[in-house]
Amino acid sequence: MLTILFDLDDTLYDTASPFFQALENYRLENSHSDEETFALFREHCDAAFDLFSKGELTLAESHIMRTQHTFADLGLALTTEEAMHFQETYQKRQAEITLSPGIEQLLNELESRNIPIAVFTNGPEKHQMKKFNALGLERWVPPARIFISEKIGCPKPYAEAFAHVQEALKASPDELLFIGDTYETDIIGGQAAGWTTLWYNHRQKPEDEKVVLEPTFYSVAEMHQAIHDNISKRKEI
């Protein structure tokens, strides 16, 4: 049976919204566009999370690091205390997140077709579950189909993480369809595991050097269509 897995951050909701809401409290002489500014933050988030995953930083230290490095790139030096305050504001805004427009309709349609839905995300379990609950995802995803890297023991794109999820779902690789926004973790990891992957490249990241075996799409409407096309293709086989 087909199971459709979704990444959480920046796939089911827009992670930029709480970031820019938290950023409103700061006066920055910023020559970067909003997309460039958020790309800087995501870059530093990924680097800090990697160090946290390796045990080289505590979670709090990783938050301070990513915040200070992002603000430094934007021309403002933050003390540790100021970085911690930004993180607190950012987390408060994350508690107010909502599903991206069109996602609820998509999840309802999949549920009506009796297609199991799962979430596969990198991050600390407590932190990711707060976002999961804020989005109301328990309506479609039971606890047994929530997969968080900290609980698994390693993050995407490591093969062990994908193997754990596949085993827990009691599925073969050809029964799994994974949708995510991060090429390096979601798509490379999924393809290496033999899963079908769909790249949700709504941040318009460069694709010229990337080998994508399945269609790339840029909006929730295109995501919906890509999933529909994949389901239809499976029925033809």
Say if residue 112 is in the same domain as residue 9: yes
User: How many domains is the chain built from?
Assistant: 2
Phi, psi (deg, nearest 5) at residue 93: -70, -35
Percent of the chain whose pLDDT exceeds 70: 94
Please give the biggest Cα pair distance in the chain. Answer: 59
Peptide bond into 157 cis (omega under 30): yes
Q: Residue 39 maps to which CATH number?
A: 1.10.150
CB 157 within 8 A of CB 184: yes
Say if residue 107 is in the same domain as residue 62: no
Q: How confident is the model at residue 236 (pLDDT cuts 50, 70, 90)?
A: low
Say if residue 135 is in the same domain as residue 224: yes
Q: Could you give the residue ranges of the DSSP H alpha helices within the chain?
A: 16-23, 34-53, 59-73, 80-94, 103-112, 125-134, 149-152, 159-169, 188-192, 220-236
Say if residue 137 is in the same domain as residue 219: yes
State which of 94, 117, 142 marks the end of a domain: 94
CB 185 within 8 A of CB 216: no
Domain hosting 185: range is 3-14+98-236
Torsion, Cα 182 237 109 227, to 10 degrees, reads: 20
The structure's pTM equals 0.90
Q: How confident is the model at residue 6 (pLDDT cuts 50, 70, 90)?
A: very high
Say if residue 150 is in the same domain as residue 106: yes
What is the pLDDT averaged over residues 144-157? 96
Residues ≥6 apart with Cβ < 8 Å to 181? 7, 9, 10, 11, 199, 200, 201, 202, 203
- Residue pLDDT, tens place only, 72-121: 988 888 999 999 999 999 989 989 999 999 999 999 999 999 999 999 99
Percent of the chain whose pLDDT exceeds 90: 73
Residues ≥6 apart with Cβ < 8 Å to 85? none
Q: 51, 89, 55, 93: which is closest to 69 by C-alpha?
A: 51
Q: How confident is the model at residue 217 (pLDDT cuts 50, 70, 90)?
A: confident
Residue 208: pLDDT above 60?
Answer: no
Residue 27: pLDDT above 80?
Answer: no
Residue 173: pLDDT above 90?
Answer: yes
Say if residue 10 is in the same domain as residue 106: yes
Q: Residue 187 maps to which CATH number?
A: 3.40.50.1000
Say if residue 79 is in the same domain as residue 123: no
- Residue pLDDT, tens place only, 44-59: 998 999 899 889 999 9
